[in-house]
Amino acid sequence: MEARQVKEKFWFFLCGLAMVVIGLALGVVVGFIALRGGRVLSLEFLFSFPRHGMSEGGILPAIVGTLYLVLGSTLVSLPLGVLSAVYLVEYAPPHPVVQAIRSAIHCLAGVPSVVFGLFGLSVFVKLFGFGVSIVSGSLTLGIMSLPVVIASCEEALRSVPRSFREASLALGADRWTTVRRVVLPAAFPGILTGLILAIGRVAGETAPIMFTAATFYARGLPRSPFDRVLALPYHIYGLMTEGTRPEKQIPLAYGTALVLLILVLLVNFSAILLRRRFRVARKW
Amino acid sequence: MSERRKRGLGKKPQDTAGLVLFFVALSSVAFILGIIAVLFVEGLPALSHVSLSEFFLGRRWYPVSSPPRFGLLPLLLGSLFVTLGGLAFAVPLGFLAAVFLAEICPRGLRELLKPVIEILAGIPSVVYGFFGVVFLAPFLREIFTLPTGLTALTASMLLGLMAVPVVVSVMEDALTAVPRDYREAALALGATRWETIKEVVVPAASSGIGAAVILGAGRIIGETMTVLMVAGGAALIPRSFFQPVRTMTAAIAAEMAETPVGSLHYRVLFLVAVVLFAITLLFDLVVNFFGRREFWRR
Amino acid sequence: MWRGSGKMLGEKTKLSIRNFSVFFGEKQILYDVTLDVPENRVTAIIGPSGCGKSTLLRSINRMNDFYENLKVQGEILLDGENIYGDSVDPVALRRRIGMVFQRPNPFPKSIFENVAYGLRVQGWRNRKAIQERVEESLKAAALWDEVKDRLHASALELSGGQQQRLCIARAIAVEPEVLLMDEPASALDPIATARIEELIKKLRERYTIVLVTHNMQEAARVSDYTAFLLMGRLIEFGPTAQIFTNPRRKETEDYLTGRFG
């Protein structure tokens, strides 16, 4: 065999090896948590309250808290995101202000999550007086996920053929009617995909809710939007760093980590599945 | 018929919907300006107690001693250490894997691997941090016989792994975007496939590859939970990867909870956030320089 | 210079295009076109590709408004009123001037909803009235018999020719006065094309039709008047029979005999 071919074989092998290493590493992370967490996981774990200063019992309040935060942040990011994307795709004239909007979205996407946490603390918790609460956390998470929602909505809207818009406009529909009755329905699956991806990200975030919404100790479920909540990601952190009986808390942390992992991976998986279905199903 | 004729051409209406949408779209601008304003308003008052040179050049970060010392260098270097360390894992691995995906592996396998990587990109950072504490740190302590496993190295490995999906998918995009003709031209000249990749494809994709590196760096330096849990948290100027470090993000996350709102310490932490924000903004500009494709969407 | 314009004898003018020019950025696409489109007739606009015929057509219902760099000069009068006047609402204009596009473009909705779309947009709420109008329009578009049993099936399941007839039904459901057709048969097979042409001839009774086509035979078969456009200029306009048998201008003759284009 020629030296050149040996070289090629070597590098190709190395590339494949890198892929294997990555797969193995991610596999170890997921597998280890699945294995250890699996021992703790039970219906009782999912559906009961923590006991004995968080060192025993289940994680129901954390699951519920995360659901509240996801729901709350969606209420913020969905309308703002979809309407912003509609403006950018369907209306935006080539104007400096529109450029500024695009740059702002870019910037927002690059802001570290802990900085969002500080922003939420300063504005929602302190300035607006919402306190450490579901509302403050939802607003913070909603703003954080806004760029993701806008980006996927834009993509979904752009995938709607121009001819649909022209047909509608030629029938005497104005722009807004065209968007509402033709473009948005056609883009709906794409928008849904983006929303689900955003949910996956929001559910796993810890830093933005540390100072705005989350608590480690709670007796029951939150009773008002202005209550602080347990949340799955923060609960893992809390179990590892707070409390009095670490040896009892670590197994709980395994279980919580597994629940969070399953939740997030399932959400991402369904988003990708939906996207694929949508691409196959559409005929235009 | 005659009734139809009476329709006029109407009066031009106001485009209310367009106006409303415009203001909604402005919200992003408001948010980013709001973030900048908050960081400065909360952080700047600290400068009346801590001088700029003390803040940027101070080598001691003792926020709770009296008098407190607020030298940024340990935190800045801590962030730098784990970022470089993370890239040292993510870039070579990610690059080789991207080449594998884009150029070598059969189509079917690629269609399977890409979504898997995409799904795994969603593993929350707190889960990596937890995994680091219970598995990787003890493991590395054994191997290298260290006093503690919570070191810059541990954090770097996890952060690298965390950044791999972004790096791979952006690089893979850049490689597949290289026109087929380039490849065929090189192959027709008798180059082997690897030579074609090395001499033609990779140089043609270099700006995308550069963007992927910066993007990975941006993700790592802004990462909080993993470093908070596994980097060990010592706010000392790091000298080796086997030492514990404290990053800017970890300092903010860990100390903000324990400091009274409005105190000097609280304000200095916002100042740290200003620096962090400025660095990520710089990365963003560099990515734009590499060509404004929507890399950050991932 | 003879400008290829003028009113056709004995015809009532529906649309009057007056010294109309279009610029796209620096580039001029139409040069000073003047042309009277007679009511209840089929007027064909022919010419080689890139001659500006689609641009002219899309200027008539102001579909060109959506291109940022496009500027127009001159006037187009609909029943004597300038559609580029300051106070004109393009949306109201498009309710009076329907359009059928080059490629069939039904919405991803049911057959029924496609035809009902324009009505709903105009605020129709009465279900019975909508149903009646949808049926009438589908009949007028010679599609009713083929789809009456599956009105709620997706429009995307129809064949290309059926889709185009659906688009015609959709356009006429709102009872426009003028129907613009941008090469409506170019994406269809010969049999579907024949059906569309048949339909166009019938629709003339109720609508003023402007038809853009690159297919000269098609223009000859279905139109009453023909305008020949070359490089953005109107070269000749007259009764179709005269244009095809006895063109006055050399360019027209060259084009018709296939010497260029």
Per-residue model confidence (pLDDT) at position B180: 87
Per-residue model confidence (pLDDT) at position A4: 86
Which residues are registered as beta bridge partners of A56? Answer: A51
Count interface pairs A-C at CB distance under 8 A: 70
Provide CB contacts within 8 A for B88, sequence distance 6+. B156, B160
Which of C101, C107, C171 has the CB atom closest to A182's CB atom? Answer: C107
Q: Does B8 touch chain C (CB under 8 A)?
A: yes
Task: Give the other-Cβ count within 10 Å of C23's Cβ.
Answer: 14
Per-residue model confidence (pLDDT) at position B11: 64
Q: Is the pLDDT of residue C3 over 60?
A: no
Phi and psi at residue C81, in whole multiples of 5°?
-105, 130
CATH class of A64-230: mainly alpha
Which of A93, A170, A185 has the CB atom closest to C94's CB atom? Answer: A170
Looking at residue C214, the DSSP 8-state letter turns out to be: S
Residue among C40, C77, C87 with most chain B CBs within 10 A, to mutate? C87
Residues 212-231 of A with CB under 8 A from B: none
Q: Does B7 touch chain C (CB under 8 A)?
A: yes
Q: Is the pLDDT of residue B7 over 70?
A: no
Confidence band for C9, pLDDT divided at 50, 70 and 90: low
Structure tokens at B31: 């948010």
Q: Is the pLDDT of residue C166 over 90?
A: yes
Q: Could you give the residue ranges of the DSSP H alpha helices within chain C?
A: 53-60, 90-96, 111-121, 127-140, 144-147, 160-173, 190-203, 216-222, 240-245, 250-256
Question: Are A168 and C167 inside 8 Å of each other by CB?
Answer: no
Cβ-Cβ contacts under 8 Å, C91 against chain A? 172-174
- Find the closest chain A residue to C95 by CA distance: A172
Give me the count of residues in chain C: 261
Q: Domains of chain A: which residue ranges? A: 64-230
Q: Which domains does chain B have, with CATH numbers?
A: 78-246 (1.10.3720.10)
Q: How far is B88 from chain A (nearest CA, A)?
A: 13
Per-residue model confidence (pLDDT) at position B295: 45
Per-residue pLDDT reduced to its tens digit, B20-43: 999 999 999 999 999 999 999 999
Cβ-Cβ contacts under 8 Å, B13 against chain C? 89, 91
Give me the count of residues in chain B: 298
Q: Is the pLDDT of residue B1 over 80?
A: no
Question: Are A163 and C103 inside 8 Å of each other by CB?
Answer: yes
Provide CB contacts within 8 A for B284, sequence distance 6+. A106, A107, A110, B218, B296
Question: Are B118 and A21 inside 8 Å of each other by CB?
Answer: no
Average pLDDT, chain C: 90
Question: Are B10 and C89 inside 8 Å of each other by CB?
Answer: yes
Span A221-236, mean pLDDT? 92
Say how far residue C39 (Cα) sits from the centre of its chain.
13
Q: Does B17 touch chain C (CB under 8 A)?
A: no
Provide CB contacts within 8 A for A58, sequence distance 6+. A44, A45, A46, A47, A48, A49, A50
Which of A109-123, A236-250, B69-83, C25-39 comes out lowest in average pLDDT? A236-250
Question: Are A284 and C108 inside 8 Å of each other by CB?
Answer: yes
Residues 141-200 of A with CB under 8 A from C: 161, 163-164, 166-174, 177, 181-182, 185-186
Q: Does B18 touch chain C (CB under 8 A)?
A: no
Q: Does A13 touch chain B (CB under 8 A)?
A: no
Q: Is the pLDDT of residue B12 over 70?
A: no
Span A177-195, mean pLDDT? 93
Cα dihedral value B121, A281, C66, C231, nearest 10: 120
What is the value of ipTM here, to two decimals?
A: 0.93
Per-residue model confidence (pLDDT) at position A1: 63
Span C159-167, mean pLDDT? 94
Cβ-Cβ contacts under 8 Å, A263 against chain B? none
Looking at residue A262, the DSSP 8-state letter turns out to be: H
Confidence band for B286, pLDDT divided at 50, 70 and 90: confident
Q: Is the pLDDT of residue B105 over 80?
A: yes
Q: Tell me the C-alpha distance between B160 and B91, whole Å.
A: 8
Question: Are C93 and B10 inside 8 Å of each other by CB?
Answer: yes
Q: How far is C94 from chain B (nearest CA, A)?
A: 9
Span A150-162, mean pLDDT? 93
Looking at residue A125, the DSSP 8-state letter turns out to be: I
Confidence band for A257, pLDDT divided at 50, 70 and 90: very high
Question: Are C66 and A182 inside 8 Å of each other by CB?
Answer: no
- Find the closest chain B residue to A86 by CA distance: B21
Q: How far is A256 from chain B (nearest CA, A)?
A: 10
- Find the closest chain B residue to A149 by CA distance: B297
Q: Is the pLDDT of residue B5 over 60?
A: no
Per-residue model confidence (pLDDT) at position B8: 66
Per-residue model confidence (pLDDT) at position B2: 38
Confidence band for B235, pLDDT divided at 50, 70 and 90: confident
Q: How large a percentage of chain A has pLDDT more than 90?
A: 73
Q: Does A176 touch chain B (CB under 8 A)?
A: yes
Q: 3-class secondary structure for chain B?
A: CHHHHCCCCCCCCCCHHHHHHHHHHHHHHHHHHHHHHHHHHHHHHHHHCCCHHHHHHCCCEECCCCCCEECCHHHHHHHHHHHHHHHHHHHHHHHHHHHHHHHHCCHHHHHHHHHHHHHHCCCCHHHHHHHHHHHHHHHHHHHHCCCCCCCHHHHHHHHHHHHHHHHHHHHHHHHHCCCHHHHHHHHHCCCCHHHHHHHHHHHHCHHHHHHHHHHHHHHHHCCCHHHHHHCECCCCCCCCCCCCECCHHHHHHHHHCCCCCCCHHHHHHHHHHHHHHHHHHHHHHHHHHCCCCCHHHC
- pTM summary value: 0.89
Average pLDDT, chain B: 89
Which of A216-220, B115-119, C106-110 comes out lowest in average pLDDT? A216-220
Per-residue model confidence (pLDDT) at position A92: 82
Across A49-53, B273-277, C4-8, the highest mean pLDDT is recorded for B273-277
Q: Using an 8 Å Cβ cutoff, are A267 and B122 in contact?
A: yes
Provide CB contacts within 8 A for C80, sequence distance 6+. C16
Provide CB contacts within 8 A for C218, sequence distance 6+. C44, C185, C193, C197, C211
Q: Exposed, middle or buried: residue C59 (CB in 10 Å: 0-12, 13-18, 19+)?
A: buried
Q: Is the pLDDT of residue B92 over 80?
A: yes
Per-residue model confidence (pLDDT) at position C130: 96
Q: Is the pLDDT of residue B3 over 60?
A: no
Q: Does A282 touch chain C (CB under 8 A)?
A: yes
Per-residue model confidence (pLDDT) at position B190: 86
Q: Does C121 touch chain A (CB under 8 A)?
A: yes
Q: Tell me the C-alpha distance between B83 and B222, whole Å.
A: 9
Q: Does B12 touch chain C (CB under 8 A)?
A: yes
Confidence band for A277, pLDDT divided at 50, 70 and 90: confident
Per-residue model confidence (pLDDT) at position C261: 47
Per-residue model confidence (pLDDT) at position C1: 35
Q: Tell me the C-alpha distance between A168 and C121, whole Å.
A: 9
Residue among C96, C133, C178, C207 with most chain B CBs within 10 A, to mutate? C96
Residue among B126, B133, B135 with most chain A CBs within 10 A, to mutate? B126
Task: Give the other-Cβ count within 10 Å of B84's Cβ.
Answer: 15
Per-residue pLDDT reduced to its tens digit, B169-197: 999 999 999 988 888 899 998 888 999 99
Confidence band for A96, pLDDT divided at 50, 70 and 90: confident
Per-residue model confidence (pLDDT) at position B292: 54
Per-residue model confidence (pLDDT) at position B298: 39
Span B236-246, mean pLDDT? 89
